[in-house]
């Protein structure tokens, strides 16, 4: 399978200057709103500790909690299915829809169904699938995957949306008023809610003791997908479990604050049993999660509650756009999850990071994201998955860094080089550090020159 070239894809993203600048600004704005909200809670750090501990406890007892969740759900009248991978998940969902003669499925946003590529699978079998979240619908109509796990169309400007809607749902392509566009999608989606024979949601949390699935949304589309049709389905990654209802207090207080900088989502829905006269199904999906649970360095990524804060804060993500990662999950959380799906295909992604650690600092469940990124680089190098250029560069760097004398010579030469070399040499296509940025001026002295002059050569 072809290796995703993140650097190449991001260079295309950056070429569209208006888009790239807006993207950077919008996501940084989410980060700032998140800071305001988290700082308004004196117990924020304590909540992070609790959230992390609850998740770690659950994951280290996951089999028991899954059995408890299944039994509770069945007692509530829900049919529980298990899927080892994406193919089995899609098969189960399709069989349910086919058995009920479903022609239209209304769907709330679910990263799990993106991961499983459910939509094309169903569409190829003659089922109309309508994404009902505005951002997700924009992406569906434009035939693109979501570029962000919380705000799927964040890389698009209003004029792009006007073009997509003009082409697909018959709006005026020259009218890019945001109210007009949102209202048009509302009007276009309503008949689908009213007419669909089946509805589908993902899960933010699954509560073991009660068999409840919790979804946190703002638009009302998940509830409309669940309250009207006679057949409803929730797809649940097995890592979404938490032990008890009371634990929701911790996560609900953090999720939207950390994701969007709002105290809570507009709608926090708890589905525990089918409406009378209707059917409700859960599909519990593994798709690599149980394997990841056994990876000593990487199982912590299963704590993720998909708030997206690590993406919003990441300087690489903000300037490269989610689609450049070529994977369902992008940004810092993506680069530590994606290699578990396909090491070779995603072997470039852990290098899309400056290792600044900001992702780790904003993570509500204290995943050591930047440390995992570093560890993935080691795994990839050990398994010889480094591209040739990177391998040679690292080999040379390794030699230089291993010898203090060579290191000093290299630093002095580089400093002299930046001051004296002609621009064409620094900003040439072979120097990745000179792309899309000005290289900072070199200091007059290297640190060692300063140290020798000011502190002498011996301690």
Instruction: Check residue 45 and give left, alpha or beta (phi > 0: left; psi -120 to 50: alpha).
Output: alpha
- Binding span for other proteins by CB under 8 A among 152-160, 360-368, 409-417, 451-459: 152-160
Give the nearest distance from C-beta 10 to other proteins in angstroms.
21
* From candidates 221, 324, 328, 372, binder to other proteins by CB under 8 A: 221
Instruction: Check residue 155 and give left, alpha or beta (phi > 0: left; psi -120 to 50: alpha).
Output: alpha
- The answer to whether 284 contacts other proteins (rule: CB under 8 A) is yes
- The answer to whether 61 contacts other proteins (rule: CB under 8 A) is yes
CA 82 – CA 48 distance, rounded (Å): 31
CA 441 – CA 439 distance, rounded (Å): 7
* From candidates 73, 86, 153, 310, binder to other proteins by CB under 8 A: 153
- The answer to whether 400 contacts other proteins (rule: CB under 8 A) is no
- The answer to whether 43 contacts other proteins (rule: CB under 8 A) is yes
Give the nearest distance from C-beta 272 to other proteins in angstroms.
6
CA within 13 Å, CB half, 204:
26
Nearer to other proteins, 10 or 52 (CB): 52
Give the nearest distance from C-beta 219 to other proteins in angstroms.
4
Torsion, CA 82, CA 88, CA 94, CA 100, rounded to 10 = -30
- The answer to whether 338 contacts other proteins (rule: CB under 8 A) is no
- Using CB under 8 A as the binding criterion, the count of chain residues that bind other proteins stands at 92
Residue 118: CB atoms within 10 A of its CB come to: 22
* From candidates 11, 111, 299, 410, binder to other proteins by CB under 8 A: 299
Nearer to other proteins, 284 or 380 (CB): 284
- Binding span for other proteins by CB under 8 A among 118-126, 173-181, 312-320, 362-370: 173-181
- The answer to whether 16 contacts other proteins (rule: CB under 8 A) is no
- The answer to whether 189 contacts other proteins (rule: CB under 8 A) is yes
User: Can you give the C-alpha Rg of the chain in angstroms?
Assistant: 25
- The answer to whether 62 contacts other proteins (rule: CB under 8 A) is yes
Give, in order, the Cα–Cα distances in Å from 328 to each of 1, 105, 146, 149, 337: 16, 22, 8, 9, 10
Nearer to other proteins, 88 or 371 (CB): 88
- Using an 8 Å Cβ cutoff, are 233 and 83 in contact? no
Nearer to other proteins, 177 or 392 (CB): 177
- The answer to whether 158 contacts other proteins (rule: CB under 8 A) is yes
- The answer to whether 201 contacts other proteins (rule: CB under 8 A) is no
251 to 270: interface string for other proteins, x by CB under 8 A:
-xx------x-xxxxxxxxx
- The answer to whether 95 contacts other proteins (rule: CB under 8 A) is no
- Using an 8 Å Cβ cutoff, are 391 and 342 in contact? no
Give the nearest distance from C-beta 373 to other proteins in angstroms.
20
Give, in order, the Cα–Cα distances in Å from 444 to each of 313, 405, 420, 453: 33, 20, 12, 13
Instruction: Check residue 42 and give left, alpha or beta (phi > 0: left; psi -120 to 50: alpha).
Output: alpha
- The answer to whether 210 contacts other proteins (rule: CB under 8 A) is yes
CA within 13 Å, CB half, 169:
22
CA 148 – CA 328 distance, rounded (Å): 9
* From candidates 274, 308, 331, 334, binder to other proteins by CB under 8 A: 274
- The answer to whether 59 contacts other proteins (rule: CB under 8 A) is yes
* From candidates 3, 19, 57, 408, binder to other proteins by CB under 8 A: 57
Give the nearest distance from C-beta 178 to other proteins in angstroms.
4
- The answer to whether 313 contacts other proteins (rule: CB under 8 A) is no
């Amino acid at each position: 399978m072809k290796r995703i070239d993140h650097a190449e894809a991001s260079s295309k993203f950056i070429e569209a200057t208006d888009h790239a600048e807006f993207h950077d600004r919008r996501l940084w704005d989410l980060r700032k709103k998140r800071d305001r909200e988290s700082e308004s809670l004196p117990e924020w750090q304590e909540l992070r500790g609790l959230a992390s501990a609850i998740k770690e406890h659950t994951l280290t007892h996951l089999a028991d909690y899954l059995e408890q969740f299944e039994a509770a759900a069945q007692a509530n009248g829900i049919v529980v299915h298990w899927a080892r991978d994406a193919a089995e998940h899609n098969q189960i969902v399709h069989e349910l829809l086919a058995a009920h003669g479903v022609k239209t499925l209304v769907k709330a946003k679910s990263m799990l169904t993106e991961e499983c590529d459910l939509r094309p699978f169903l569409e190829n079998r003659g089922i109309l699938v309508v994404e009902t979240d505005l951002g997700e619908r924009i992406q569906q109509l434009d035939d693109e995957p979501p570029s962000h796990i919380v705000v799927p169309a964040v890389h698009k400007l209003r004029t792009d949306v006007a073009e997509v809607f003009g082409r697909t749902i018959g709006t005026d392509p020259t009218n890019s008023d945001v109210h007009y566009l949102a209202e048009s999608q509302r009007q276009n989606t309503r008949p689908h809610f009213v007419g669909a024979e089946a509805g589908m949601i993902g899960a933010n949390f699954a509560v073991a003791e009660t068999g409840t699935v919790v979804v946190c949304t703002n638009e009302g589309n998940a509830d409309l997908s669940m309250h009207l049709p006679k057949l409803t389905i929730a797809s649940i990654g097995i890592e979404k479990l938490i032990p008890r209802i009371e634990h929701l207090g911790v996560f609900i207080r953090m999720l939207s604050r950390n994701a969007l900088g709002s105290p809570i989502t507009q709608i926090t829905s708890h589905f525990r049993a089918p409406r009378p006269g209707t059917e409700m199904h859960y599909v519990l999906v593994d798709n690599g999660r149980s394997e990841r649970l056994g990876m000593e360095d990487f199982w912590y990524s299963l704590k993720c509650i998909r708030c997206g804060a690590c993406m919003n804060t990441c300087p690489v993500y903000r300037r490269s756009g989610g689609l450049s990662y070529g994977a369902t999950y992008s940004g810092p959380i993506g680069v530590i999850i994606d290699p578990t799906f396909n090491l070779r295909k995603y072997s470039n992604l852990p290098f899309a990071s400056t290792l600044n650690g900001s992702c780790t600092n904003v993570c509500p469940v204290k995943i050591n994201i930047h440390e995992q990124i570093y560890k993935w680089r080691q795994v990839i190098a050990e398994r010889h998955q480094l591209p040739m250029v990177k391998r040679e560069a690292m080999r040379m760097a390794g030699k230089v860094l291993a010898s203090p004398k060579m290191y000093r010579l290299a630093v002095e030469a580089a400093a002299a080089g930046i001051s004296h070399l002609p621009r064409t040499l620094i900003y040439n296509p072979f120097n990745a550090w000179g792309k899309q940025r000005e290289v900072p001026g070199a200091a007059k002295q290297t640190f060692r020159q300063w140290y020798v002059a000011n502190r002498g050569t011996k301690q």
